[in-house]
Chain A
Amino acid sequence: MDYEVCRKVWDSQIAAQITIQNRDEILPFYTMLPRFSYFSVVLQDILQFFTSRDNELNLDGEKIWLESKGVPLKMYIPIGVIFDLNNEVEGDTWHIVIKTSNAPSGYRTINRETMEQIYLQNLKEADFLKRKAETIQNMQIDEHRMLWDSICNNHFDDFWGINKKLMDTSDKMFDSIPLRVYERNRPAFKQTLLNPRNDSGELVTVGHAICQLLAISEILPTSTLISHGIRIPAETPLIYAAKNLTYPDNFVHICVLKND
């Protein structure tokens, strides 16, 4: 674990401005959203802020949905990934609207408990890729619970205390690397089996892995690889990203964006 990088990644936050649909008289809520968390986790606090300011306000956590720039925001993908995918890096806050109208079809609002299950399934999938799910199966249920709680409460040390078990390669290298790649024109991410080392035993870089995944021959200079709000150099070894540039679900989420 590269402490400096892991810490900075965890501490990355996005300045956001949240308003309520059709209620222009209500002043916006300015806050910093942690990149590693999920909307389904932070939504509760956001709503609480609004209702504490104005008791009359009635927002049903089950029915509202979130939208930014006309695009509905998925509540089960890490906040940082959503921002990177949908926004250019600007000098202004991320403007999010709480919508009370009917959600578009196929869109669901999910609460924390449901999110926990989704999180755990992703975590298991990541560990399955890395070492056939052995580590996660040997973990206790309260360790799973603790991981989730430390995400909800922003406890870096507690989180990594357990997470480092999932990142340990002192016995042997990972079988394959959990990587999900997002592109703007795709509804879903892409993932596949990726070996951390190539045939000659060298470490595969992030650039090569993405080429393999997207079935392209090379990363064009007009595309950038963005994760955690920064440009990831294509030469970064994949195994390094898998240990230090992941989100809490142990996946590396990278957005491939074309520069306009």
Chain B
Amino acid sequence: MQDFPEELEDFCGIWKEWKIVKGTVPLENYGKLLKTIEICGEIAILEVNIVYSLIYRVPVLWFAISSENGEPVENGSVEEFLRGCARKMGKLVVAKYSLNEHPVLGLLYYNIHPCSTNREIFKSSSPENSINKIAQWLSNYGPDLGIYIPSGIFF
């Protein structure tokens, strides 16, 4: 998906909560979102990054959850959070995720496994399909993390 940087700019331009963080080359730009969430009654901060994967050639969701004082939460809490998101969608199974090194930051973040990402969305590059590709993609995978696209801004 060669046009990831452009699509990302468009995306963040429309949905202003997402900020672009520039990398050393355009393909290393990623989108960042900070959101307050609740896990088992406790407040936590969810940081989500949309990073392009050169290997899978699709965007990948990287995320980290920390408590209010900045400490990363335990694995159990992360699991609980994701289960909650899944329940909301009516799914029983949590999305596949694990820790790994963030491709740009070089730190440990969680990521949703991209191996099952449907690449169909990115195949078509016809101008008729003018809806932002990242938005299309996020509409499918965002709910895994409780991210829902505000209605009307993209389609």
Is A122 within 8 A of B107, CB to CB? no
CB pair B54 A122 closer than 8 Å = no
Q: How far is the CA of A215 from the CA of B28 in the complex (A)?
A: 14
Q: Say whether A76 contacts B101, CB under 8 Å.
A: yes
Interface flag for B70 (CB, 8 Å): yes
Which residue of A106, A110, A125 contacts B55 across the interface (Cβ within 8 Å)?
A: A125
> Looking at chain B, what size class is its interface with the partner chain?
20 to 34
Chain A hits for B39, CB < 8 A: none
A193 touches B105 (CB 8 A): no
With most chain A CB atoms within 10 A of its CB, the pick from B55, B102, B113 is: B55
A114–B107 CA distance with the chains assembled, in angstroms: 15
Partner of B105 from the list A76, A108, A122, A187 (CB cut-off 8 Å) is A187
A118 touches B56 (CB 8 A): no
Q: Among the listed B54, B56, B106, B113, which residue makes an inter-chain contact with A186, where contact means beta carbons less than 8 Å apart?
A: B106
Distance, CA A133 to CA B117, complexed state (A): 14
Given contacts A76-B108, A110-B108, is CB(A188)–CB(B55) below 8 Å?
A: no
Q: Does A105 contact B (CB under 8 A)?
A: yes
**Contact of A187 with B55 in the complex, beta carbons under 8 Å:** no
Q: B100 to A122, Cβ gap below 8 A?
A: yes
> Which residues from chain B contact A76 at a C-beta distance below 8 Å?
99-101, 108
Please give, as numbers and ranges, the residues of chain A lying within 8 Å of B106 by CB-CB distance.
186-189
Q: Contact between B55 and A118 (Cβ–Cβ < 8 Å)? A: no
Nearest B residue (CB) for A213: B54
- Within the complex, the shortest CB–CB distance from B147 to chain A, in Å, comes to 22
Q: Name B98's closest neighbour in chain A (CB-CB).
A: A117
- Please tell me if A121 contacts chain B, counting CB pairs below 8 Å: yes
In the complex, per-residue mask of A120-131: 1 if CB is within 8 Å of any chain B CB, else 0:
111011001100
A114 near B55: Cβ-Cβ < 8 Å: no
Q: Is B75 an interface residue (CB 8 A)?
A: yes
From B56, B72, B75, give the contact of A114 (CB < 8 A): B75
Return the chain B residue nearest A77 by Cβ: B101
Residue B26 at the chain A interface, CB threshold 8 Å: no
Distance in angstroms from A65 CB to nearest chain B CB is 12
Task: State the CA gap A77–B106 with chains docked (Å).
Answer: 11
Cβ-defined contact, B107 with A192, below 8 A? no
Chain A residues near B103: list those with CB within 8 A.
188
Contact A129 B55 (CB under 8 A): yes
Q: Is B14 an interface residue (CB 8 A)?
A: no
B93 within 8 A of A: no
Does B43 touch A at the CB level, under 8 Å?
Answer: no
Shortest Cβ-Cβ A-B pairs, 9 listed: A187-B106, A188-B106, A106-B107, A117-B98, A192-B54, A121-B98, A108-B108, A118-B100, A118-B99
Q: List 21 A-B contacts (CB under 8 A).
A: A76-B99, A77-B101, A108-B72, A110-B108, A117-B99, A118-B99, A118-B100, A120-B98, A121-B113, A128-B55, A129-B55, A186-B106, A188-B101, A188-B102, A188-B104, A188-B105, A188-B106, A189-B101, A191-B54, A192-B55, A215-B25
Q: State the A residues within 8 Å of B (CB).
A: 74, 76-77, 105-108, 110, 114, 117-118, 120-122, 124-125, 128-129, 133, 186-189, 191-193, 215
Residues of chain B having any CB pair with chain A under 8 Å: 25, 54-57, 70, 72, 75, 98-108, 113, 115
